[in-house]
């Protein structure tokens, strides 16, 4: 059994908060995969059981509010007798720009109260999927910012991000975190896969253009410019007249 935990606060009041992006991700996994059962109350959380890839998975949304998330996670972990490595926690990250994400295992809580609570109940060695929401720029504004709703314009990056998480959730369940991260990066940042940008007109594949070729005479093919110069026909000199007399004096020629 694998546990995928989304962090957030329960209730319609908080539903679109930035702090609830973990709930949103788990809801999208549930919506996109028909194997999951309807949500039900258990372990001080809303849970749904199903299958992702080859793994049985329990989706968990703690009902304890963010600061007590560890109570629900610890209870579910003990019931299923799983290890921290079998748990993925999805949550909001102030220190990442919007639309960015990071996968990691273990580490500190970084001031996130949900992680602080989970670590207190099960230790720090669980896996984390951090979803960037950006920072308001002033520490005093953080509380209102994270408890504020996403703007309508945020849907441009939020919906694709949640969709790719749900579409590749089987890799999360199977512990293939690197593959999961690569899939999301290629889908959300396709410019990294293009290697040189769009193909220019008349150029070669891979965005490289052909260097212009200087014209050559038919007989010059394969010869160096030095050899060509040596083989060039010498210009004819005047044999009579003032110019001929001057050249003879310069070259020391006698009549």
Q: Is the pLDDT of residue 200 over 70?
A: no
Catalytic residues, by residue number, are: 19
Lowest average pLDDT, out of 10-14, 184-188, 221-225, goes to 221-225
Phi-psi region of 17 (alpha: psi -120 to 50; beta: other; left: phi over 0): beta
Residue 245: Cβ within 10 Å count: 11
Question: Which pLDDT band holds residue 136 (cuts at 50, 70, 90)?
Answer: very high
113 among annotated binding-site residues: yes
- The residue extents of the domains of the chain are 2-194
80 among annotated binding-site residues: no
**Cα distance between residue 20 and residue 89, in whole Å:** 13
Q: Model pTM?
A: 0.74
Lowest average pLDDT, out of 31-45, 101-115, 213-227, goes to 213-227
> Quick one: CA torsion of 242, 243, 249, 251, rounded to 10 degrees?
-160
| CATH of range 2-194; options 1.25.40.10, 2.60.40.10, 3.30.470.20, 3.40.50.1470 | 3.40.50.1470
pLDDT 10s digits, 40-96: 999 999 999 999 999 999 999 999 999 999 999 999 999 999 999 999 999 999 999
145 among annotated binding-site residues: no
**Mean per-residue pLDDT for 90-113?**
91
- Please tell me the predicted confidence (pLDDT) of residue 192: 62
Question: Which pLDDT band holds residue 120 (cuts at 50, 70, 90)?
Answer: very high
pLDDT 10s digits, 157-191: 999 999 999 999 999 999 999 999 999 999 988 76
């Amino acid at each position: 059994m694998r546990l995928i935990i989304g962090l957030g606060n329960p209730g319609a009041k908080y539903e679109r908060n930035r702090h609830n992006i973990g709930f949103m991700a788990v809801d999208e996994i549930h919506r996109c995969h028909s194997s999951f059962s309807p949500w039900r109350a258990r372990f001080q959380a809303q849970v749904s059981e199903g299958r992702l890839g080859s793994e049985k998975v329990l989706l968990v949304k703690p009902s304890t509010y963010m600061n007590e998330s560890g109570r629900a996670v610890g209870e579910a972990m003990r019931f299923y007798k799983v290890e921290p490595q079998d748990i993925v926690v999805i949550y909001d990250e102030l220190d990442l720009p919007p639309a960015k994400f990071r996968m990691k295992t273990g580490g500190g809580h970084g001031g996130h109260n949900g992680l602080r609570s989970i670590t207190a109940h099960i230790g720090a060695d669980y896996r984390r999927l951090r979803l960037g929401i950006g920072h308001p720029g002033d520490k005093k504004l953080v509380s209102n910012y994270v408890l504020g709703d996403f703007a309508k314009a945020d849907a441009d990056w939020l919906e694709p991000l949640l969709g790719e998480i749900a579409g590749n959730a089987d890799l999360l369940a199977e512990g293939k975190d690197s593959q999961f991260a690569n899939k999301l990066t290629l889908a959300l940042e396709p410019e990294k896969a293009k290697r040189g940008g769009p193909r220019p007109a008349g150029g070669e594949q891979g965005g490289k253009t052909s260097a212009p070729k200087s014209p050559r005479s038919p007989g010059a093919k394969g010869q160096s410019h030095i050899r060509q110069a040596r083989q060039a026909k010498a210009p004819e000199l005047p044999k009579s007249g003032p110019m001929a007399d001057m050249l003879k004096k310069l070259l020391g020629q006698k009549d």
